[in-house]
């Protein structure tokens, strides 16, 4: 009797557990009524757009057509610059050892990584070096203690605790859970503490956690300036992301980070459409004998062959919607899409092949100057954010003899006077200008991820933090969100207590 009951129960269970569309009667409600999308349009072929194409392919299968529009170079803010015949990362450079999507791409695409050398760092006030590392680990530790008490050690633990929570995203995403806003995503990782970070400056957030103002001004602020061209007034979440940019074990992709983008495009079997998207228009057509109205989007773009348009069921916008970056008009979209006024930070990357002016940093003997990074405090004299010795993206073990190639970040182009102050001598100078990342000024209100029924804004995530991995995380989120919304799987969106629930699930 008992055996019969359990056998029947098992059978029933098996029947109920049939995946939708997998046969039986179960396929009607959720998925069966919805046709798969025929075409998906992705605007932008940076790491966001190309990884979106990759994840969209994974979710929607091989039959959907995916077109990726790009007005410039594949890679976007991942780009290299030629300095005396070698190529250097001019945009997004460092990848953290715990950036799991980027790691996965490298493996999946058969690319290689190159480690970013851990050099010695100095912190410059605009007048003098207020702190500098030395090659001897114990001595560094004692010096940090002497200058800043336990601040440095505590910061490491503090950062690690936040990073630990952040890592939850990979588990949620591997279980296919999606979030409808950037705030909901952040909340699922670290609750109201994480959300609060968007409304506080890094300075406030660290003061509340008990860090000294001296430590924040002399160490934290220069790291913020190096990574985001802004001081500790940036929000307390992106601030922590910036801190992780000084962790050990950082890496880049050999041959250039942008190789991930071309690799992802190829792996996704998406079609690259060179051209500038001018507008997206909401449209409706009648379909089938029943005459049901089907909504779609018409994308108008300028390409080598002139003005063209194409229709899509789903649109992913994978570029900042900033009038100077992507001036895309939206027509017949209700409710209408708000204008996004968030300013982007102008950053100039300059490569200088030369001998640094060691005396500027208090060294009489240039051969004693062994720092490979100089980060600057907020000071009118500090007209640059940072100076770092860099290696080319290829043949990294073949350094220039004697002098180095330095990479400077600054708000404006470095003048000849500034260059001759910073360098005792130099030959090559190359620069690249960016609208690099958002200007952060908490409290932050993130732009929507869902712009319309089936139109998504991947770069909403940049209000939380702008980084390659953040774009990849947002790309996967948008692919999952687009999928669940297409097939009405509302139970996969914005679920509460995921962390607790997934603890017991395997
Ligand atoms: C100087 C600098 C240093 C950085 N350092 C780091 C770092 O060390 N580590 C890190 O993780 N991140 C870093 N970042 C940030 C990182 O590079 C970005 O967050 C990331 O590359 C953004 O990728 P994305 O695909 O979202 O956007 P983008 O790379 O900007 O891609 C958007 C693409 O859309 C295209 N596009 C725009 N409008 C249209 C249109 N109308 N039609 C067609 N195409 C259009 C653009 O040409 C572009 O290629 C840095 C950024 C800069 C600028
Ligand atoms: C943060 O500030 C925004 C904008 O002022 C506000 O809408 C939001 O509720 C605030 N969030 C928290 C967690 O305080
Ligand atoms: C180097 O820095 C010093 C200031 O310490 C400055 O006087 C000098 O002009 C700079 N340039 C060179 C080439 O030495
Ligand atoms: C790197 O070095 C190899 C051989 O050592 C050479 O063939 C190749 O051209 C170099 N690449 C670049 C970009 O300099």
Cα 153 to Cα 156, 161, 163, 343, 346: the distances in Å are 5, 13, 16, 35, 33
Q: Name all residues whose Cβ lies below 6 A of ligand 3.
A: 357, 359-360, 420-421, 424
What residues of the chain score a pLDDT lower than 50?
Answer: 1-31, 400
Predicted local distance difference test score (pLDDT) of residue 338:
84
What is the reported pLDDT for 398?
Answer: 54
101 CB within 6 A, ligand 1: no
Which pTM value belongs to this model? 0.92
Please tell me the predicted confidence (pLDDT) of residue 31.
46
Residue 79 to residue 94: CA distance in whole angstroms: 13
Say what the pLDDT of residue 140 is. 85
On whether the CB atoms of residues 385 and 320 are closer than 8 A, the answer is: no
On the CB side of 115, CA atoms within 13 Å amount to 7
Output the CA 290–ligand 2 centroid distance in Å.
Answer: 47
Task: Report phi then psi at 458, rounded to 5.
Answer: -65, -40
60 burial via Cβ count (<10 Å: 0-12, 13-18, 19+):
buried
Cβ atoms within 10 A of the Cβ of 44, count?
Answer: 27
From the centroid of its chain, how far is CA 36? 29
Tell me which of 43, 45, 46 to substitute to probe ligand 1's pocket, judged by most ligand atoms within 8 Å of the beta carbon.
Answer: 46
pLDDT at 401: 55
For residue 98, report the distance from its CA to the centre of ligand 1, in Å.
Answer: 20
* pLDDT value of position 392: 94
Beta carbons of 375 and 56 less than 8 angstroms apart? no
Indicate which residue's Cα is closest to atom 53 of ligand 1.
436
Q: How many CB atoms neighbour CB 26 within 10 A?
A: 17
């Amino acid at each position: 009797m008992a055996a019969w009951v359990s056998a029947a129960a098992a059978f029933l269970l098996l029947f109920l557990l049939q995946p939708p569309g997998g046969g039986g009667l179960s396929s009607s409600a959720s998925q069966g009524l919805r046709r798969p999308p025929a075409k998906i349009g992705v605007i932008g072929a940076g790491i966001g757009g190309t990884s979106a194409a990759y994840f969209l392919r994974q979710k929607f299968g091989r039959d959907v057509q995916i077109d990726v529009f790009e007005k410039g170079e594949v890679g976007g803010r991942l780009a290299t610059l030629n300095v005396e015949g070698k190529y250097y990362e001019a945009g997004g450079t460092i990848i953290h050892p715990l950036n799991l999507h980027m790691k996965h791409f490298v493996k999946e695409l058969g690319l290689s990584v190159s480690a970013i050398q851990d050099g010695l760092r100095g912190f410059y006030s605009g007048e003098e070096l207020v702190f500098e590392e030395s090659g001897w680990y114990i001595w560094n530790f004692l010096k940090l203690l002497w200058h800043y008490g336990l601040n440095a050690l505590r910061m490491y633990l503090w950062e690690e605790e936040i990073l630990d929570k952040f890592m939850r995203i990979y588990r949620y995403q591997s279980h296919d859970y999606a979030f409808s806003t950037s705030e909901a995503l952040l909340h699922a990782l670290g609750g109201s503490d994480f959300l609060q970070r968007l409304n506080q400056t890094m300075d406030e957030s660290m003061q509340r956690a008990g860090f000294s103002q001296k430590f924040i001004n002399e160490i934290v602020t220069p790291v913020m300036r190096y990574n985001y061209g802004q001081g500790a007034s940036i929000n307390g979440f992106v601030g922590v992301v910036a801190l992780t940019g000084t962790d050990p074990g950082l890496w880049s992709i050999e041959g250039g980070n942008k190789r991930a983008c071309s690799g992802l495009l190829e792996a996704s079997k998406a079609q690259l459409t060179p051209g500038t998207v001018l507008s997206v228009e909401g449209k409706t057509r009648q379909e089938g004998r029943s005459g049901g109205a089907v909504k779609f989007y018409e994308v108008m773009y300028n390409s080598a062959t002139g003005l063209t348009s194409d229709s899509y069921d789903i649109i992913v916008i994978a570029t900042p919607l900033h009038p100077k970056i992507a001036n895309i008009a939206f027509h017949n979209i209700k409710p209408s899409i708000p204008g996004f006024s968030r300013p982007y930070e102008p950053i100039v990357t300059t490569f200088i092949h030369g001998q640094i002016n060691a005396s500027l940093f208090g060294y009489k003997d240039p051969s004693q100057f062994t720092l490979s990074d100089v980060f600057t405090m907020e000071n009118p004299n500090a007209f640059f954010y940072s100076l770092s010795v860099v290696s080319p993206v290829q043949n990294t073990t073949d350094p220039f003899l004697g002098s180095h190639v330095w990479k400077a970040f600054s708000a404006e182009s470095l003048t000849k006077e500034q260059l001759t102050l910073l360098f005792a001598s130099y030959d090559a100078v190359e620069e690249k200008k960016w609208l690099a990342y958002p200007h952060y000024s908490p409290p932050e209100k993130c732009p929507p991820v869902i712009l319309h029924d089936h139109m998504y804004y991947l770069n909403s995530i940049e209000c939380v933090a702008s980084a390659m991995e953040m774009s990849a995380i947002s790309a996967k989120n948008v692919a999952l969100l687009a999928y669940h919304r297409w097939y009405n799987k509302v139970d996969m969106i914005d679920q509460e207590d995921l962390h607790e629930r997934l603890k017991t699930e395997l």
